Chain A
């Protein structure tokens, strides 16, 4: 029967928790929503709870409490799994069989036509080594095969755990292009990583997890904090500092080490600030928004008490 379920979210969790013991809470009260058709980055340092979360989403482990809906169904439901492909942690295959044979076994389990095998091997650039034994593959090749296995069902939702691990720079670029292409083709991609650079160029939204808790969620621009910082160069600088402090408050104006003024203010006040400086007879030589790098944001969030975006 044709499944006509259409939900806004490909993944939705409510209070998802996994407790391994009284001391070890791997995932704590996680509320996560991944919209259909987006590429969602699930970011966090090692041991933050990313893989445990993904294992719960595909039904490999049962949550201690909370609930999740994945591809329209509870994790582990056959109808949901039929619509998702996943690679969790390091890809694992039968070393005595070739990549092609491994995919054939998985295609048989999934009830997928063997025709898909060559297509997916080509998608990940492994067609030339497909008939070689997996035991002879490099880490990067196993990673590609893992992604090929996840693509076998041509799923509407892809869950990939650190897919760029072990890839060389060229391989990382190709992986990014592949994922971007999947996103453009309408697939939902949930991709986890502890490497910001891996996600920065491909994700529509990012969630940051630390110690099992989601500490930030939003678009990359939102996570960078928008353009709330302004860099100002005006002469004489001491008069500019006094004027801006009077205008915006003492906590909003800082002098950087290289002598520039950094002002915390919404971009909407840029005109007001520039007018005030010029009308006071100051020579305004530079006024521009300063974006925090995502790297900076990530480090701030994951090394100090996080904020919920």
Chain B
């Protein structure tokens, strides 16, 4: 298992796509969650809808200062990062089918489950690096914004930061495992990414949200069981993002942090278990 972990890490470490994806994720979160929305709030055009509804723009800008760093980062990063991690999960498995490298690996080492475990460990480390980079970049950006606005710099409590890091890692891990499972099931990247995004953004993000407005209690109960709801609820348990571009509806009302954590944990285990069974039992034809 340790040898497989090291081998998987060597592959991921040298793979440009992994770091391009991470770079885009960090840049997108900083841009959308901080820079663009802070610029919008700082320069509200006279006569615009925003100008009519916002009486005190300075109160909105507080969302971008270090004191709100954790909840703003989780609010934007949880959703965007989840999608990117799903893509990462697909890539680390789907590309092996595309290149035909599973056969190369599995003729060197027989233990498919050890290989799978090593891959999980390496990906878990990568998403941890993504997460640290996100929090670091947003922290620096929030400090810069606070300095520009001459606002005092106050950080959230250390315990809150640690809990937020753990929560975001769990959210990322769940979506990564989801992506890996899809790639194992479809034995390719393209279809897996397509279906994953359709599920995340269209099915759970849009259709079920709309249906829950008109469909009654059972749809609400169904949504409480879904991974996206749990991910949003866990992020929102740290407080709703005040960013002007935070578009996600609050899910906190559906389930609490504890249930969200358990739900995410169950999904991580289930996705990994199904993926491991599929990988172990299926013929390697590619």
Contacts and interface: CB of A to CB of B under 8 A. Distances in A.
A77 B109 CA distance: 9
A92 B3 contact: no
B108 A101 contact: no
Nearest to A73: B110
Interface string A73-109: 0001110110001111111111111000100111011
Interface of A is mostly: loop
B105 A106 contact: yes
A76 B11 CA distance: 23
A3 to B, nearest CB: 15
A48 interface: no
Contact of B107 (A58, A61, A108, A111): A58
A60 B104 contact: no
Interface string A42-83: 000000000000010011111000000000000011101100
A60 B103 contact: yes
Q: How large is the interface on A (under 10, 10 to 19, 20 to 34, 35 or more residues)?
A: 35 or more
Contacts of A60: 103, 106-107, 283-285
A94 B111 contact: no
A101 B14 contact: yes
B99 A109 contact: no
B10 interface: yes
A149 interface: yes
B101 A96 contact: no
- Determine chain B's interface SS by DSSP, over half rule: helix
B73 interface: no
B1 to A, nearest CB: 11
Contact of B10 (A80, A108, A153): A108
A76 B110 contact: yes
Contacts of B111: 78
Contacts of A106: 7, 104-105, 108
B22 to A, nearest CB: 15
A92 B104 contact: yes
Contacts of B105: 106, 109
A81 B109 CA distance: 7
B108 A61 contact: no
Given A60-B284, A62-B283, A89-B103, A152 B108 contact: yes
Interface residues of B, number: 26
B16 A96 contact: yes
Contacts of A76: 110
Contacts of A105: 7, 10-11
A242 interface: no
B115 interface: yes
A135 B4 CA distance: 24
A166 to B, nearest CB: 15
A86 B284 CA distance: 14
Interface of B: 3-4, 6-7, 10-11, 14-17, 99-101, 103-111, 115, 283-285
18 contacts: A55-B284, A55-B285, A60-B106, A60-B283, A60-B284, A61-B285, A76-B110, A80-B110, A85-B107, A89-B100, A91-B104, A92-B100, A94-B101, A95-B99, A96-B15, A101-B14, A105-B7, A108-B7
Closest 5 A/B residue pairs (Cβ): A92-B100, A61-B283, A108-B7, A60-B284, A110-B108
Interface of A: 55, 58-62, 76-78, 80-81, 85-97, 101, 104-106, 108-111, 149-150, 152-153
Given A60-B284, A78-B111, 12 more contacts: A60-B107, A60-B283, A81-B109, A89-B100, A90-B100, A92-B104, A96-B14, A101-B14, A109-B3, A109-B108, A110-B109, A153-B108
